[in-house]
């Protein structure tokens, strides 16, 4: 039995949106969503992972980025998130490990620099998760997104932990992380909360 935990770690606006309206590869995360993730681009760790100079080190926000990339050994994501990243991620994408992309359209694996390989999985979330766990080398598996994929994992009861980064801005429209979930579909225990002037980080454990 693998001891890998399955988690998601996503950013939302204060009104609950994980993506703004009109999200597309040319408009990643949708209208207004960049403000929601502003904090991450100010961390030295995230900038370093993307090959960019600068940023702040030793802050709670930077520690969060370090921890989330260190703990994940494999990733699962939906095809729409992948489509945005395919044009936006650098040649050395931030994953540095296997990424299992859910889709109904088969495609050959796409090998990138730095250890990231995208595998396209056409037989569903449970299969993608099993493959990710087997490939994670004992590390945890991150359900990276997008909105539909995270909700499927919640509904299927596949998650052990999650972190939600709440930005203080409103998006007003788009795709809400928890839209349509009934109260009994997600029961959480709060584990930790911290933050900065830009964002509040909330950790939960699924029961
Ligand atoms: N705020 C954050 O932290 C954060 C993080 C990640 C992503 N996002 C945003 O989330 C948005 C994307 O989310 P989304 O809900 O639109 O889409 P998504 O979850 O990324 O992808 C949905 C697609 O995945 C495939 N899929 C999902 N479940 C499947 C299954 N069980 N079997 C086979 N294929 C399956 C289907 O692809 P096919 O149509 O190819 O069959 C489906 O159209 C993007 O705008 C992205 O920027 C935000």
Q: For ligand 1, is residue 149 a contact (CB within 6 Å)?
A: yes
Q: Kindly calculate the radius of gyration of the chain based on its CA atoms and give it in whole angstroms.
A: 16
How far apart (Å, rounded) are the C-alpha atoms in residues 188 and 205? 6
Q: Whose CA is nearest to atom 40 of ligand 1?
A: 103
pLDDT of residue 35: 87
Ordered by start, the domain boundaries in the chain are 6-206
How far apart (Å, rounded) are the C-alpha atoms in residues 137 and 133? 8
How far apart (Å, rounded) are the C-alpha atoms in residues 168 and 98? 33
Q: Whose CA is nearest to atom 7 of ligand 1?
A: 146
CATH topology classification for 6-206: Dihydrofolate Reductase, subunit A (3.40.430)
The tens place of each residue's pLDDT in the chain, 207 residues long, gives: 558 999 999 999 999 999 999 999 999 999 999 889 999 999 999 999 999 999 999 999 999 999 999 999 999 999 999 999 999 999 999 999 999 999 999 999 999 999 999 999 999 999 999 999 999 999 999 999 999 999 999 999 999 999 999 999 999 999 999 999 998 999 999 999 999 999 999 999 999
pLDDT of residue 131: 98
Ligand 1 centre to CA of 136 (Å) is: 21
pLDDT of residue 1: 52
Q: Return the DSSP state at 112.
A: -
């Amino acid at each position: 039995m693998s001891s890998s935990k399955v988690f998601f770690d996503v950013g939302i606006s204060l009104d609950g949106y994980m993506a703004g309206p009109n999200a597309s590869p040319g408009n990643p995360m949708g209208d207004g969503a960049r403000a929601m993730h502003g904090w991450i681009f100010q961390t030295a760790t995230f900038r370093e992972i993307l090959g960019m100079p600068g940023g702040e080190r030793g802050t709670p926000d930077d520690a969060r980025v370090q921890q989330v990339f260190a703990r994940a050994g494999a990733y699962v994501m939906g095809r729409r998130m992948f489509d945005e990243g395919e044009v936006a991620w650098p040649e050395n994408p931030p994953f540095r490990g296997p990424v299992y992309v859910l889709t109904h359209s088969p495609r050959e694996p796409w090998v990138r620099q730095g250890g990231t390989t995208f595998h396209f999985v056409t037989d569903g979330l449970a299969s993608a998760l099993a493959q990710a766990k087997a490939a994670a080398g004992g590390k945890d598996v991150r359900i990276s997104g997008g909105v539909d994929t995270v909700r499927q994992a919640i509904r299927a009861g596949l998650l052990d932990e999650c972190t939600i980064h709440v930005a203080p801005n409103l998006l007003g429209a788009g795709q809400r992380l928890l839209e349509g979930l009934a109260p009994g579909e997600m029961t959480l225990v709060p584990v930790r909360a911290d933050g900065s002037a830009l964002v509040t980080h909330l950790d939960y454990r699924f029961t």
